[in-house]
Amino acid sequence: MIRVLLVDDQDLVRLGLRTLLETEDGFEVAGEAADGLAAVDEAVRAVPDVVLMDIRMPGIDGIEATRRIVARAELAAVRVIVLTTFERDEYVFEALHAGAAGFLLKDTPPARLLESIRTVVDGGALLAPSVTRTLIAEFVAEQRRPLSPHPRISDLTAREAEVVGLVAQGLSNQEIAERLVLSPATARTHVSRAMIKLGARDRAQLVVFAYRSGLA
């Protein structure tokens, strides 16, 4: 059973999400919150598997709430998906830097949302396609965002660094395997080793490290 905390300042949005989750096998609503501070408190109380987090809310926003949730040792296993109507680049970057495992728009189809929740629980990361394009375009403009290499980036082998660069381009393990003529299992192993070496909690954070370190 995947337990989900719903965080949004609009009652109707929370009701819609609750209805979706409660009618789907394998999901349970762990709680609700209408602002960032309450989201942190509810996360501590319920320790959900996933938090669906809005950005613009009264008090502290969803990005700061995400940062506080991720920083708590007892919530290390909790994954945050930022779910918003906004795809502006600064929201994407701030959410990922704060530790979010994914960023989706509120017009995401219900089936895709459920799939996304399962993805982050399984250790994956996700971005809406339009958000991925925004992310790549921003970091390619290096003059706007200077490089800040990860202190352990040199620990990666040449192949691991290459794989991390492909992860940052949005490729799946299967696509990486096809690009580099590897087995999917080998590609997955390279990704896992790179995450361990860099201390990335999930693929979303690995993408951030890749761009900051100039691997993509």
pTM for this model (two decimals): 0.68
Supply 197's token pair.
């070496």
pLDDT at 53 over 80: yes
Q: How many CB atoms lie within 10 A of CB 12?
A: 8
Asked if 206 and 163 touch (Cβ cutoff 8 Å), the reply is no
pLDDT of residue 134: 55
Q: Which residue has the higher pLDDT, 141 or 58?
A: 58
Residues 6+ apart with CB under 8 A from 50: 2, 3, 4, 5, 78, 79, 80, 81, 117, 120, 121
pLDDT at 107 over 90: no
Distance of CA 43 to the CA centre of its chain: 17
pLDDT at 32 over 70: yes
State percent of the chain over pLDDT 90: 45
The DSSP element (H or E) to which 169 belongs, if any, is none
Tell which CATH architecture fits domain 148-212.
Orthogonal Bundle (1.10)
Packed helices 173-180 and 158-168: angle between N→C axes, nearest 10 degrees: 130
pLDDT at 181 over 90: yes
The torsion of the CA quartet 182, 165, 78, 198, rounded to 10 degrees, works out to 100
Write out the residue limits of the CATH 1.10.10.10 domain(s) in the chain: 148-212
CATH classification (class only), 2-138: alpha beta
Mean of all residue pLDDT scores within the chain:
84
> What is the spatial distance between Cα 180 and Cα 43, in angstroms, rounded to a whole number?
41
